[in-house]
Amino acid sequence: MPRSLRSRLLITATVVLFVFLGLTGIVLDQAFRSSAERGESEKLLVQIYGLLAAAEESETGLYFPDQLQEPGFNQLGSGLYGIVSDGAGNEIWRSPSALDLDLSATQLQAISAAVNAGEQIFGKLEPAGGQVLFYFCYGILWQSSNNATQAYVFTALESTRSVAAEINSFRKNLWLWLGGVALVLITVQGFVMSWGLSPLRRLAEDLKLIESGESDYLKGEYPTEIDGVTRNLNRLLANERQQRERYKTTLADLAHSLKTPLAILRGSAGSLVWQQTNQDARQGSGSLDARLMEIMHTIDDQVDRMDQLVTYQLQRAVIASSDLIRKSCAVEPLIKNLIGAMQKVYEEREINFTLCIADCNFFGDERDLMEIMGNLVDNACKYGNGRLEIRAKNSENGEQLLFRVDDNGPGIPREKRDKVLQRGMRADTSEAGQGIGLAVVADIVASYNGEIGILDSPLGGAQIHVRI
């Protein structure tokens, strides 16, 4: 079934049109055939009346002149024949045109015996010669001059060729005209449907403008049937934007509020160290108390962890608030900016970056893509051995981004690949970190109904591939 609404309507209307015109053609064809045969019946009845008018009584029965008024009865091969038989079906006269008519006595008796006096029968007959004929039989009682009555059957026959040719000509013209009418109506239907569905096309185009970020609302006037839908969509878009602004404001306030206590905690830890250092200097001791150092490191670790957790939760909140409208952004510039930053951070490792970036786009929040790529590339730089490969392209339908990062590090064991996607789980504890980077990536990918997987890389390390 076609996905296009216009195609569905046009196909349905075309099927209904052909069925309707087909049934109309069959009905008209049958009606014309019946009319033609009825006209032939009336014509043959007139010929019988002519034979009755020409018949005269004689001592041996009925007598007909050598030349009848109807020329068709006098000429061989004219296709018009006249036959008179008695009540028993025995032939007593036939017209000169019927001298070569191959009509058996059995056939004549069969049609004559079926007619009583005053009755009429019309039908088709196929003589031995194979030529189909229309026949009309009329039964009469002839009263002679001595008041005696005799039963006769007057039969007029005519070839079906002229009627068949007329019917075929009508049928050909009928279907030709009906076919032309069908083509015209289909063309008109196409224009009518195109005009009638134009508001839906305009609505789809306006939605694409909103998706690409070129417009904020559905603009223009729409028909009454979809006006309510467009109003509700605009209201939904407005509410979504207001909600996102409220989220941004609230999250910014939250981040600012949390950073101040964290800074105070970090400053307090430093103050303790400074005081202890001064006290040790006055007392002549050159080392800090081990317990104090342990407390200081604990505070620093927990402050760092709280900072990361705040960032993680804020990121989740931003993601949850941006599901409705996802704009398109180019992937290549973002990756190049990211690689430039990573080269500065890991300058001492002299990492070799290989990029295979197609002309592709990401349909979503640019910050989400940066969070995904940043975590994956940072992990590859951190755990790799100086070689890293990044690939990105769009899917065949252009609606998904396929992103892959390969490194030449030790890789991730199969039994740990599911665990490292969980928050707080790490495959390698030798490097600094809290183990929430891949969890953030997994959550962002899941929010876009995407997929993330870990495989062995051709470079020898781990391969992280994302479909989003």
Q: Give me the residue label for tokens 């878009």.
A: 237
Give the C-alpha separation, 407 to 463, whole Å: 7
Give the C-alpha separation, 382 to 186, whole Å: 66
Give the C-alpha separation, 382 to 379, whole Å: 5
Q: Which residues contact 140 (CB under 8 A, 6 or more apart)?
A: 52, 117, 118, 151, 152, 153, 154
Q: With contact defined as beta carbons under 8 Å apart, do 371 and 442 qualify? A: no
Q: Locate 381 and state its tokens.
A: 């730089």
Provide φ and ψ at 158, rounded to 5°.
Answer: -150, 145
Give the C-alpha separation, 156 to 112, whole Å: 12
Q: Locate 386 and state its tokens.
A: 């100086």
Residue 176 confidence class, pLDDT cut points 50, 70, 90: very high
Q: Domains of the chain: which residue ranges?
A: 7-166, 224-319, 326-467
Strands 401-407 and 361-363: unpaired
Q: Nearest-CA neighbor of 206 among 234, 228, 236?
A: 234
Fold agreement between 7-166 and 326-467: no
Q: Give me the residue label for tokens 């075929």.
A: 168
Model confidence over 71-81: pLDDT tens digits?
999 988 888 99
Residue 371, number of CB atoms within 10 A of its CB: 21
Residue 177 confidence class, pLDDT cut points 50, 70, 90: very high
Q: Which helix (H) or strand (E) holds 140?
A: strand 133-143
Q: Which fold has domain 7-166?
A: Beta-Lactamase (3.30.450)
3-class DSSP assignment, residue 389 = strand
Contacts 24+ apart (CB under 8 A), 165-170: 166/36, 167/29, 167/32, 167/33, 167/36, 170/29, 170/32
Residue 292 confidence class, pLDDT cut points 50, 70, 90: low
Return the pLDDT at 429.
43
Question: Which residues on adjacent β-strands are paired with residue 340?
Answer: none
Query: Where does 55-155 have alpha helices with state H?
Result: 105-113
CATH architecture type of domain 326-467: 2-Layer Sandwich (3.30)
What value does the mean pLDDT of the chain take? 81
**When comparing pLDDT for 397 and 333, which is higher?**
333
**Distance (Å) of CA 300 to CA 67, 262, 265, 266, 453:** 135, 10, 8, 7, 33
Q: What's the pTM?
A: 0.51
Model confidence over 362-381: pLDDT tens digits?
888 787 888 888 889 988 88
Give the C-alpha separation, 277 to 295, whole Å: 15
3-class DSSP assignment, residue 276 = helix
Give the pLDDT mean for 284-289.
Answer: 55
Return the pLDDT at 78.
86
Q: Nearest-CA neighbor of 254 among 304, 298, 320, 312?
A: 312
Give the C-alpha separation, 247 to 18, whole Å: 58
Give the C-alpha separation, 288 to 298, whole Å: 15
* pLDDT of 432 strictly over 50: no
Model confidence over 24-69: pLDDT tens digits?
999 999 999 999 999 999 999 999 999 998 888 877 778 888 888 8
Query: Where does 284-395 have alpha helices with state H?
Result: 290-320, 332-345, 366-383
Return the pLDDT at 398.
77
Give the pLDDT mean for 298-313.
Answer: 66
